[in-house]
Amino acid sequence: MSRVAVEHVATIRFPAFNTLSISLLISGVLVVGSAKSETLEGALSRAYQANPALNAARANLRVVDETVNRFQAGYRPTATIAADMGVVQFDGRTAGRHRIRTTIPSGAGVTVNQTLFDGFQTDNRVRSAEATVFGTRESLRRAEITTLFNAVQIYMSVLSDTATLELQRNNVAVLEEQLYQTRYRFRAGEVTRTDIAQSEARLAGARSQVAVGEAKLRASIGLYRQVIGVEPRQLAPGRPIDRHVPASLDQAIRIGLEEHPQILAARHAVDAAELQVKVAEGALYPQAQLSSAVQQRFDQRSPGDSSISGSIVGRVNMPFYQGGAEYALIRQAKETVSQTRFLVERDRDTIRASIVQAWGNLEAARGQVLAAQEQVQANETALTGVREEARVGQRTTLDVLNAQQELLNARVDLILAQRNRVVSSYDVVQAMGRLTRHVTSLPAPLYSPRDHLAQVRDLWFGVRTPDGR
């Protein structure tokens, strides 16, 4: 099938923006870019490294990592150092004599407590925290997918808005020439004032569309800066990611239900909720603790008066009845488990629906590209014929203007169809949960969510974070 090559080289200058030069060839969608052009993969890499929302999600994971270490503290002993000093004044009679005596009692001691058994509460809290960490990692992966897909959308929007704006500006130039020729023909008596009015009206409408197109491109540039982190310069081709699109819808659904981070995060939430039931049940078990203390006292009743004492005490507490609150907590935790299981099913249905929708959009986009190419071809042929017929008086000025407008609309439709073709391919991949830096092999340093937990989970002390803050 033949392809239409409609080339538009746009240089857009706005007072509020730096010069943006984007070269776009629509119909294969091929963008003519220089060696220094920004590629779609490069823009995605920038977003992967610098997007604030994605970095906030990474920071949130590091926050959750610390809960593992916090609950592991239940395995470790606690030590307390205590010291005291006071003044005691005695004013009274001793053996018939009035005496005033001042002493300065003081002392210091160390107490160490170690939990021996807490109904497996510490074990289950640590495991629940780990499940929460795993779920948060999946949430981070989902944030990465969302960020990269947003970057794809805005990258392609800048390209399509630029090409559309240039088409509209070219249309203004064509209509200005058309109006000039119509006025010339009017002076020659070939057309009427109605033809001039029609040309003027169409030119005013075209200028209005240019103003709308400039505003739309400004908005896209602003979103590009927000998502990707830099101003767009020269943007190279945005190509579909068909190599990661499965061969069938059923295969895409199977992959999504197995790998999508939203479903995996929900499953980890179920694990964490089940462990919280065991934590609540631990309150019904006996609690055993070992406590040791060493203390030295200086009461100074006489010079050199002091004493040292030490103790080791084991305690076992057996809960008998605590008002029923512990039973309510257990029942509440079990209901939370039921809720999280329902949420897993909800998320599975949501992911399935989003994959089906994305797949349908991709198939529609493929068909729209072919139809738009044929429409452009037909409208170009029609415009040529209408112009020739108008020269011999078989067509009116309005016929020519309508044919020009139809060709413009067809070219704009082709731009949008090509934009949607690229975005829809990425949409299928993100709906399956695979639009990540690892799968797409972006040229950016890989952020490992596991490193931080490995650095902090066994720390016994220290207030500095692994990055030195």
On whether residue 92 sits in a domain, the answer given is no
- The mean pLDDT of 176-190, rounded to a whole number, is 84
62 pLDDT higher than 50: yes
DSSP 8-state assignment for residue 152: H
pLDDT at 344: 95
Q: What is the pLDDT of residues 190-201, one digit of tens each?
A: 788 888 898 889
Instruction: Look up tokens 């640590």; give the residue.
Output: 126
* Rounded Cα gap, residues 177 and 297, in angstroms: 106
Please, what's the b/e burial string for 55-72 (b: 16 or more CB within 10 A of its CB; e: otherwise)?
eebeeebbebbbbbbebb
pLDDT at 252: 95
Burial of 415 from C-beta contacts in 10 A (0-12 / 13-18 / 19+): buried
On whether residue 312 sits in a domain, the answer given is no
The answer to whether 293 touches 112, Cβ cutoff 8 Å, is yes
Q: What is the pLDDT of residues 239-263, one digit of tens each?
A: 899 999 999 999 999 999 999 999 9
pLDDT band at 300 (very low <50, low <70, confident <90, very high): low
Domain of residue 447 covers 6-75+120-284+325-456
- Give the residues across from 109 on adjacent strands: 82, 295
On whether residue 81 sits in a domain, the answer given is no
Q: How high does pLDDT run on average in the chain?
A: 85
Structure-block tokens of residue 214: 């400039």
Q: Which residue has the higher pLDDT, 98 or 236?
A: 236
On whether residue 290 sits in a domain, the answer given is no
* Rounded Cα gap, residues 434 and 363, in angstroms: 19
On whether residue 251 sits in a domain, the answer given is yes
What's the pTM value of the predicted model, to 2 decimals?
0.82
Structure-block tokens of residue 249: 């819808």
pLDDT band at 96 (very low <50, low <70, confident <90, very high): low
DSSP 8-state assignment for residue 336: H
On whether residue 190 sits in a domain, the answer given is yes
* Rounded Cα gap, residues 269 and 466, in angstroms: 27
Counts for the chain of helices (H) and strands (E), in that order? 10, 8
The answer to whether 30 touches 237, Cβ cutoff 8 Å, is yes
Q: How far is CA 68 from the centre of its chain?
A: 24
194: helix, strand or coil = helix
CA dihedral 392, 398, 399, 402 (to 10 degrees): 150
On whether residue 105 sits in a domain, the answer given is no
Specify the number of domains making up the chain.
1
End-to-end CA distance of the chain: 61
CATH number of the domain encompassing residue 141: 1.20.1600.10
In 156-233, at which residue ranges do the beta strands (DSSP E only) sit?
none
28 pLDDT higher than 60: no
Question: What are the C-alpha distances in Å from 323 to residues 284, 319, 329?
Answer: 12, 11, 12
DSSP 8-state assignment for residue 30: B
On whether residue 469 sits in a domain, the answer given is no
The answer to whether 265 touches 142, Cβ cutoff 8 Å, is yes
pLDDT at 95: 65
The answer to whether 422 touches 30, Cβ cutoff 8 Å, is no
The answer to whether 277 touches 269, Cβ cutoff 8 Å, is no
Calculate ∠ Cα 111-115-120, nearest 5°: 165
pLDDT at 15: 29
* Rounded Cα gap, residues 22 and 163, in angstroms: 8
Q: How far is CA 71 from the centre of its chain?
A: 29
pLDDT band at 234 (very low <50, low <70, confident <90, very high): confident
* Rounded Cα gap, residues 168 and 214, in angstroms: 10
pLDDT at 226: 92
Its sign, for the CA torsion 244, 246, 249, 254, is negative
- The mean pLDDT of 424-438, rounded to a whole number, is 93
24 pLDDT higher than 70: no
Instruction: Look up tokens 């997918």; give the residue.
Output: 145
- Max mean pLDDT range (57-61, 235-239, 309-313, 390-394): 57-61
DSSP letters of 426-459?
A: HHHHHHTT--SHHHHT-SSPPP-THHHHHHHTT-
The answer to whether 422 touches 239, Cβ cutoff 8 Å, is yes
Its sign, for the CA torsion 55, 58, 64, 70, is negative
* Rounded Cα gap, residues 111 and 399, in angstroms: 98
The answer to whether 47 touches 148, Cβ cutoff 8 Å, is yes
Q: Which residues have C-beta within 8 Å of that of residue 229, sequence separation ≥ 6?
A: 46, 47, 50, 51
6 pLDDT higher than 80: no
Q: Which residues have C-beta within 8 Å of that of residue 395, sequence separation ≥ 6?
A: 386, 387, 389
405 pLDDT higher than 60: yes
Which helix (H) or strand (E) segment holds residue 25: the answer is strand 20-26
* Rounded Cα gap, residues 207 and 191, in angstroms: 24
Measured over all CA atoms, what is the biggest interatomic distance in the chain, rounded to whole angstroms?
Answer: 145
